[in-house]
Amino acid sequence: MTSDQLALDVAGLRMRYGSTDVLHEVTFRARQGEVLALLGPNGAGKTTTIEILEGFRMRSAGRIQVLGTDPARGDERWRARLGIVLQSWRDHGKWRVRELLAHQARYYPDPWDPDRLIDAVGLTEHAGKKIRTLSGGQRRRLDVAIGIVGRPEVLFLDEPTAAFDPVARSDFHDVVRSLDTTILLTTHDLDEAEKLADRIVILDGGRIIADGTAAELARQIAGQDEVRWTLDGRRRAESTPDSTAFVRELFAQYGERVRELEVHRASLEQTYLALVRQAENEGTRR
C-alpha cells in the first residue's frame, strides 16, 4: 500500500500520563475509503487514540499521518478535511435543523448543499424543526450531517449509536453505509462493527491485540469453519478455511442431493471475548 493510498498511518504510538503508559506502540493503517472499527473494553485507550488522531491531544511518542499530515501540526485547512461525530455534545436546541447546517456549511470551502445533505441523512421532513424536538435517532442523523457537511476525507465516529433503540441503530447504519469516505469508528456494539467495518482493530490495555476482518479474526481464534451436511442419507462434516467456496463446490457437485446443510463459524463476539481474555492472561504473566 503506497503512502498516497493511506488516509491513516499510525506507527509506534505511545501515550503516557505521569508514570503510567496508556498506549503502547500502537500501530495500524487505514486506506482511503476504508471503514475501520476500533474495539476494546472501557479504558483500553480508544478515545485517547482518536483524540490524538484528531489533533486534540498531544502524543508522547510515535509517528502519525492523517491525510499525509501530522495531527500535532495540522492547520485549519487540514482540520476542514476531517469530520467528527462525538458521543454527545451540547448545542443550541432552539436552532432549526436546516438553519444549523447552513450555518456550519459556511465554514468550509466546498460544503454539501444543506438541503441535499438533509435529504441524504433522511431528515427532509424535519428540516424546519427545532433540534430539541428531534428524537434520538433523528438527532444522531443530524450529528452525522454536521460531521460530513464539509465533505470530509476522514470521518471519526466515537460510540455513534450508544443508547440507540434497534430502529434508530438500523437507520444510522444505513446512513453510514451510504458515505464514501474513510471512517474510524469506535463502538462497544460488536454487531455494529461486523456490519459496518471493512477491518477491525482490537485494543486492550493500550495495546493492539488483533487486526483483521471479522472472518480473519474468527479464524485466528476458532481455526477453520465447520460444514456439516447429509448426502444420500449419510451425515458428513468437513473443516475448511473458506466455507462459502466449499459450499458452492458441494452444490455444484451434488446439487439437490445435499441435505441438512449447516455452516458453523465463530461469531465476532466469541472472537473478541477470547482475544481480550487471552491478552489479559498474558498481561498478568508479564
Helix ranges restricted to H, the chain: 46-54, 76-79, 97-105, 114-120, 136-148, 166-177, 190-196, 214-222, 243-254, 268-285
Q: What is the pLDDT of residues 68-107, one digit of tens each?
A: 999 999 998 899 899 988 766 666 778 999 999 999 999 8
Cα–Cα nearest to 177, from 133, 221, 144, 218: 144
- CA dist., res. 36 & res. 182, Å (int): 8
- CA dist., res. 114 & res. 149, Å (int): 8
Cα–Cα nearest to 138, from 114, 90, 172: 172
3-state secondary structure of 213: coil
Q: What is the pLDDT of residues 161-200, one digit of tens each?
A: 766 777 777 877 887 888 889 999 988 878 888 889 999 9
Q: Tell whether pTM > 0.85.
A: no
- CA dist., res. 131 & res. 154, Å (int): 26
More confidently predicted of 43 and 161:
43
